[in-house]
Chains A and B, each alone.
Chain A
């Protein structure tokens, strides 16, 4: 990780400015909800990447801290509302969530981090299932399937903020998002942050330079749970309801997919993934029932071919951009060809999937629906044929264009390196 140079700071400032201005430009309630969700997701994703990308620990149960903190926050809000608890400005409530996450993270982390790799992943899975089961058993705290309802409007705060209107909640989330991101970025530049990376790369060697690997992991786990709890608190404030699914495997899986697709190897990767997946989920899940399938397929393909995620793919071109950006023009034909064949294959493939979904989920006997704006009958033969041809043809063409793309990239990297050497 590089220290923030002028470029990073200006990009960061731009993003922050965007966060501030956006809701004023885009004036729909729906968009505001998405942006709020996105903000929460960014914090959660960055927290998760403290474990995965920076610490090398794959957890299937990080939502436990997110969810538990959410429940704690909901109860604290309720407690403040009926006078059981002393008042704390809702603006500062996320800290409560963070502390809750930290508390559970320290406890559970101590035992979890004694193992690494697959064992760690399985322990996290076990705790996720345990937590889910507990939410249905301990009714007093979790209220079973109904979940806990809360109200984010407690009292008027400074500047007349009540958090009644959604837009105020958005800015609350935005502010905490920026604070949390800066904090987590700063952490990567501390001795702890460096040793966490070292443990990821070579846990054994770390011991031979004086560090207790378990301690490093435990600390990473605890801090990560703090930020996950912070996100959970904001989630509770935003939705005013916490349900049992917030601690479960599905929630953990979503954040894992977000972070991985965004890219685990770069700090901004999870941010990218969180924003992208939140947006896509909001807009695509209405358009297509197959949205989750597409997401899963993208994830699998990334694991197989682009383990660095989107951020990794982008940063792969950084050396070229830095030393010989004019080469991008020369790379364009190969990249465009690959893009073109991919689109063809995708059109066909998506068509097949959409038709299949339509046929299997349709309640009535109708088989006519619209695909890409074209009305067609899925019971007919020819739409299937067209799609198969497109998919197969596109796929075959891809097998020709992608090697060229790789060649083009390799050539450009070679040229860029030569430019540096000379």
Chain B
């Protein structure tokens, strides 16, 4: 092999389908997908290498968001996860769920998919099976009233939103999902769920291509960032993995933050909701639902943010750290008047999100600083709307995102916050529109007036997602739509 040997403290091992496998000659940037396939576990496929198609989905044993003492089988895109980041973790692939013969050895998910015509070419199927199995095992999946997107067995179709199929048209896959029962009493993976997940393991892999470190504490992470100013901090790798796979990024030093307990808190006080930067978006959804705190715009964004496979890995810290001009959480958090808690070896500082973005993928976060948490003030605004404009309802990137938060008192707009994504080099506040609204009566005339102001905000461009004209038109439609929705809901 070219590139020379890798060294890891204590040796990296990963449990796959119940067998402990050494990392072997994998490099720091080798994806879990490439590593699994090199082991001969070729069930997981590469369809896009950027977390859009889900053909590579596998199950990982993670802490249950509601009860960290138990395990949640969590489906993730193996193409984005770094293999070394799974040190000490447990992975289950389609091969591990069941066997083709005899037919009784098929997993219930596999059986339903097979008999209902859920596979045609079969290439996306192992990924679908893993995503479906994760939902099969979700402990709070309970039978109930069915809807378009939830089966009578409580199966939430959004669990499959990150899996693409080019053959079936999805109907048989939906039928398979909605036909699933509950795990049998002797189901091994269900039994595993009742016990704690593997703890994170401190890891260091040194290779001529670069170094991967999973520090054991925030303090250690911050020290590493001082020692290695060019170090790339990563969490869910949903952006980093794309840079590695598609654009050849090979950073010399990577520091993994996603399991640091200091970054994984969720605190609700009377004045603020504080969200740990390394909580996954799935965890935020679940853990907010365990509290009485309402975070209106965020609760609207999260179900529309990419796909379940991505939300199972992506974090607010990553989404804001990469400072994508689109990243859907930023417009919502801008409208919520959120602040960021930045931490370094010198201590913490709190900065308003509105002043955080300084240029295209640039922020005022200094070298050596990390986002520790996002703070959202309470109580939230009374009238909110989140409009994601994209081609596809599930699993798409916005052409435009508009988050609106208005306080209307006695028929007068007393406060307006509007966050925009996809219309400039950074997410931004629609300051002129906010000013145009504030102090005016909340009525059709104000809406029409302010809509014209909003249509001129930002500096939208033409690209493959939308034309500049459409982006501006969508800004112009946002307030009339909010007005219409607010009257419909009354």
A and B associate in one complex: no
Chain B residues near A (Cβ < 8 Å): none
Which A residues are within 8 Å of any B CB, using their own CB? none
